[in-house]
Amino acid sequence: MGFAATARNTLHLSVRIGTAMTRVEDLEAALQGRTAINLACGVIMAQNRCSQAEAMEILTRVSNNRNRKLRDVATELVENLSGDTVGTHFD
């Protein structure tokens, strides 16, 4: 009985750790994507002299027309302009 209880607790802890690690990876990916989207919006705002909402509409329209994820379109735009990969301050 004692061994079964210890094994159950260990398994429960392992599942919780796995869930937490997955959550961290998802949040890091979201931050990376959000950085690229914000930078791309800034570029579009500067090029078109428009508001952030209008820049986001343009970026979303391009994403939909190309049938690609918004973060991928934004990353491509920023990387083509800068010649470097998009990084975050959270690295």
Is this model's pTM higher than 0.85 or not? Answer: no
Domains, the chain, with CATH or none: 2-82 (1.10.10.10)
pLDDT digits (tens, 9 = 90+) for 10-56: 999 999 999 999 999 888 877 778 888 999 999 999 999 999 999 99
DSSP structure class, residue 59: H
Cβ(42)–Cβ(27) under 8 Å?
no
Supply the DSSP string of 2-56, one letter for each residue: HHHHHHHHHHHHHHHHHHHHHHHHHHHHHHHHHHHHHHHHHHHHHHHT--HHHHH
Q: What's the pLDDT tens digit per position in 44-70?
A: 999 999 999 999 999 999 999 999 999
